[in-house]
Amino acid sequence: MAPTTRRLVLPVLMLVVAVAAVAVTAATASTPQRTNDKPLDSLSMVYASAADSIGIFKTVGDGIVTDAGKLGMKMKRYDNNLDGPTALRNAGLMVQDKPDVAIDWNTVVGVGKAVGAQFTRNKIPCLAVNQQIPGCAWFNLSNKDMGLDAAKVILPVAKSRGWNGKNTTVVMVIAAANGVEVNNGPRYFYVQTAKTLPNFKKVTPDQITAQTTTIGGKNGIQIDCKSTIEGAYQAAKNIVGSIPKSNNILLYGSDTDCNLGAYRALAQAGFGKRILTGGLGATPDGLTQLRKNPNWLVEGALFLQDWSPYILTEAVAIANGVKPPPLTSAPQIMLTKKTVDKYYKGNNVKLLPPLVANNKYLAKYGILQKFANVEGLK
């Protein structure tokens, strides 16, 4: 049987990433490598922010504009303001600027095709940040990988305790309005759980949608946190009565706030020490839980405050005729209790994870070396 579903009305507005900002330490500096490519001070670019009214989005935009200036590049900034018509209008204005590359963080799925068509029609190379835009290169994190990486750490512990589909429930906490990619973490966490532990109902990722509520009876329960701690708390309170009181809980959410709210409700309901979980976002609260809570085994770090040099480097590559991979990965890593202090000092980033196969090409231009402290990159 397919997972049980209920009908949800999804709003048009799609806020693709919701993670709290944390302070970032100053990065190491070095001189960019010389290449045969276009001089950086000859390049002209434009950037449309997701929404400068929201702290983390503004932080990314500020970094892009500031770092571009330090590199001698021309950069003009727009604000999509989480609004489809505004994003479409901005795309038209960006085209008129005739940049070497247009960098666009559009959050409204419904206008993505029209935005991309403007760039394509006017032969403007483009780079989409976070949310895909047809015809543009793509820079983004992978929530799927985060869910799978969390499973690699959490499931062996559950298996060692004898947890299985007869005595354990997976609680998936999603933000339904934020779209498929954002919620891939909980979805793939369940799929991997069913592959790893016995007696769980096996389903494909596509069978778990925003409308899914239960899988295999009490094997899996999915709730909508509505991107807030309180939303997650209330949603979890509504389902605790349906979970057998003797069951263990594997809890994974689309971000740390959603996890925190659901965790509180489940703990209050008596599951307490029988919960294994982890967060996504490396917020101060999430980092504290990872360091102090024995049930909180992982915390996904997304390093959004450090995206600027990665985005600028991909844009420079595009301006020089490079065809990037289908996805150029943003820096991300699943922190554990053993590794958290390698990458963070308190709540501050002190080291970024190594480059991976689909973003190693970024090292060529020297921009990461100038602005970011990337593990293994000199």
Kindly state the average pLDDT of the residues 263-270.
97
Residue 172's pLDDT band (cuts 50, 70, 90): very high
Look at residue 108 in the predicted model and tell me its pLDDT.
87
Q: In this predicted model, what pLDDT tens digit does every residue of 319-377 receive, in sequence order?
A: 999 999 999 999 999 999 999 999 999 999 999 999 999 999 999 999 999 999 999 99
Which letter, b or e, does each residue of 197-231 get, where b requires 16 or more Cβ atoms within 10 Å of its Cβ? beebbebeeebbbbebbbbbebbbbbbbbbbebeb
User: Distance of alpha carbon 228 from its chain centroid, rounded?
Assistant: 16
Look at residue 182 in the predicted model and tell me its pLDDT.
85
Two tokens, residue 49: 């922010």
Are residues 10 and 341 in contact, defined by beta-carbon separation less than 8 angstroms? no
Q: Which residue has the tokens 């434009």?
A: 46
Q: Is 331 helix (H, G, I), strand (E, B) or coil?
A: coil
Interatomic CA distance for residues 294 and 336, integer angstroms: 11
Look at residue 123 in the predicted model and tell me its pLDDT.
97
Cα dihedral sign, 317-180-244-237:
positive
Two tokens, residue 239: 């389902």
Interatomic CA distance for residues 205 and 189, integer angstroms: 10
Hey, which residues does 334 pair with through a beta bridge?
A: 300
Are residues 4 and 212 in contact, defined by beta-carbon separation less than 8 angstroms? yes
Mean pLDDT (the chain) is: 90
Residues above pLDDT 70, as percent of the chain: 90
Please enumerate in sequence order all residues whose Cβ is within 8 A of that of 187, keeping only pairs 6 or more positions apart, or say none: 144, 147, 172, 174, 205, 208
Nearest to 261 by CA among 245, 246, 240: 240
Look at residue 18 in the predicted model and tell me its pLDDT.
39
15 has a pLDDT exceeding 80: no
5 has a pLDDT exceeding 50: no
Interatomic CA distance for residues 363 and 144, integer angstroms: 25
Please enumerate in sequence order all residues whose Cβ is within 8 A of that of 20, keeping only pairs 6 or more positions apart, or say none: 56, 256, 257, 281, 283, 284, 285
Are residues 328 and 138 in contact, defined by beta-carbon separation less than 8 angstroms? yes
Cα dihedral sign, 161-165-166-169:
positive
Residue type, 234: Q
Kindly give the pairing relationship between strand 333-336 and strand 137-140. unpaired
Two tokens, residue 361: 């090409």
Two tokens, residue 117: 């068509």
Q: In this predicted model, what pLDDT tens digit does every residue of 97-133 receive, in sequence order?
A: 999 999 999 988 889 999 999 999 999 999 999 989 9
- CA triplet 240, 243, 246: central angle to 5 degrees? 115
Kindly state the average pLDDT of the residues 62-74.
97
Look at residue 177 in the predicted model and tell me its pLDDT.
80
Residue type, 227: S
Look at residue 110 in the predicted model and tell me its pLDDT.
87
Kindly state the average pLDDT of the residues 78-105.
97
Span of 137-151, 168-182, 288-302 with lowest mean pLDDT: 168-182
**Which domains does the chain possess?**
40-141+304-329+353-371 (3.40.50.2300), 142-301 (3.40.50.2300)
Interatomic CA distance for residues 102 and 311, integer angstroms: 11
Interatomic CA distance for residues 263 and 288, integer angstroms: 14
